[in-house]
């Protein structure tokens, strides 16, 4: 197997893991993750349950938001030069239509 095939399989495997982590296959019992962030933080990276899912700017748009399956999830937002945001959110079996997370990334003075 060449390097190109290995990379492609890695991408497919990672995408599948993220889909399961965020509940894409949960049969409609999911809640939408809504990130509220200032424009200057739209380039921050978002992780759900330890898996990279994209940048804030891509996830805040309606129609591009993530769906979270019932259960407890760890949402983390990271940006170089800023303190990371870490939130634990719980989605009930009868979830609300969305889970709101306010993103504020204070500057790291170091």
- The CATH number of whichever domain residue 77 belongs to comes to 2.60.40
Residue 107 inside a domain? The answer is no
Do 90 and 71 contact (CB within 8 A), yes or no?
yes
Q: Which domain holds residue 87?
A: 3-102
Residue 42 inside a domain? The answer is yes
| C-alpha span between 68 and 86 (Å, rounded) | 16
Residue 109 inside a domain? The answer is no
| C-alpha span between 82 and 60 (Å, rounded) | 19
Regarding beta strands 66-68 and 71-78, do their DSSP bridges make them parallel or antiparallel, or are they unpaired?
A: unpaired
Residue 95 inside a domain? The answer is yes
pLDDT of residue 101: 87
Residue 55 inside a domain? The answer is yes
**8 confidence band (pLDDT: 50, 70, 90):** very low
Residue 108 inside a domain? The answer is no
Residue 110 inside a domain? The answer is no
Residues with Cβ within 8 Å of residue 53, at least 6 apart in sequence = 18, 22, 46, 47, 59, 66
Mean pLDDT of the chain: 79
Residue 25 inside a domain? The answer is yes
| Structural domains counted in the chain | 1
pLDDT of residue 29: 81
Predicted TM-score (pTM) of the model is 0.69
**9 confidence band (pLDDT: 50, 70, 90):** very low
């Amino acid at each position: 197997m060449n390097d190109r095939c290995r990379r492609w399989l890695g991408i497919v495997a990672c995408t599948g893991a993220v889909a399961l982590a965020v509940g894409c296959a949960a049969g409609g019992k999911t809640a939408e993750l809504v990130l509220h962030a200032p424009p200057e933080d739209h380039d921050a990276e978002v992780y759900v349950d330890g898996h990279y899912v994209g940048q804030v700017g891509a996830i805040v748009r309606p129609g591009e938001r993530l769906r979270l399956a019932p259960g407890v999830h760890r949402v983390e937002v990271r940006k170089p030069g800023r303190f990371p945001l870490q939130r634990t959110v719980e989605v009930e079996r009868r979830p609300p239509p969305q889970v709101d997370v306010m993103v504020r990334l204070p500057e790291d003075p170091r």
